[in-house]
Amino acid sequence: AEFKQVFGRDTGGLIHTYRTEDAETIVVSMGSVLGTIKDTVDEMRDDGHRIGVLGITSFRPFPLHLVRAALHKARRVVVLEKSLAVGIGGILSTDVRMAMSGLHMPGYTVVAGLGGRAITRKSLHQLFRKAEQGLLEPLTFLDLDWNVVNKQLARERSVRRSGPVAENILRDIGTVASKIA
C-alpha cells in the first residue's frame, strides 16, 4: 500500500500465476522465458492439457508461503532454470523445493538456455508432455548435446594433470605461485 501511495502504481506482487486454477502441472520460472512458457501453455491448454505457470518476480526475499499456496493443488511441478549452481542444481528450484516441503508431488528441475541457446516452444511442448507422463529425470538439461559434452569430458580424462589448474598454468608460464623461505 505504501509503494502505491509513493509511486502511484502497484508493484504487481512477488509472484504471478497464469492458468493455474485447475492445473495438474505447474511450471515455475522467472524472467524473460516466461513469455515463451505462457505461449506454450496456451497451445497445450487448447489441446486439453491442464498446465499453468507460476512466475517468480521477487527472488530475494523468496516468497515461500506464496509459492507453496500457488503449488499445493498441483500434481507435479517443473522448475525451468536458466542457471545452474554446481553442487546444488538450479538456484530457483532449491527455493521451490523448500516451499514444497511436505507436499507429496514430484518436482523436476530443468536447466535450459545454457550458452545462450534459444528455448523453443517445440522443446517446451516435448518437455511438459514428458513431465505429465512421469518420464522426466529429477534434473534435466533441455536440448543439451550430450555427444559434445562427452567428447570434452573424454578429452579432459586423457590429459592427466596433478594439482590445481591455476598452479599448473603458473608453472607452465614460469611464474612461481608461492615460495617457501
Domains annotated on the chain, with CATH: 2-144 (3.40.50.920)
Q: Could you give the residue ranges of the DSSP H alpha helices within the chain?
A: 2-7, 34-46, 64-71, 91-99, 121-132, 146-158, 165-172
What is the pTM for the complete model shown? Answer: 0.81
pLDDT at 34 over 80: yes
Which residues touch 84 (CB under 8 Å, ≥6 apart)? 90, 91, 111, 114
pLDDT of residue 114: 83
pLDDT of residue 30: 96
Dig out the grid coordinates for 18 from the structure.
Answer: 497464469
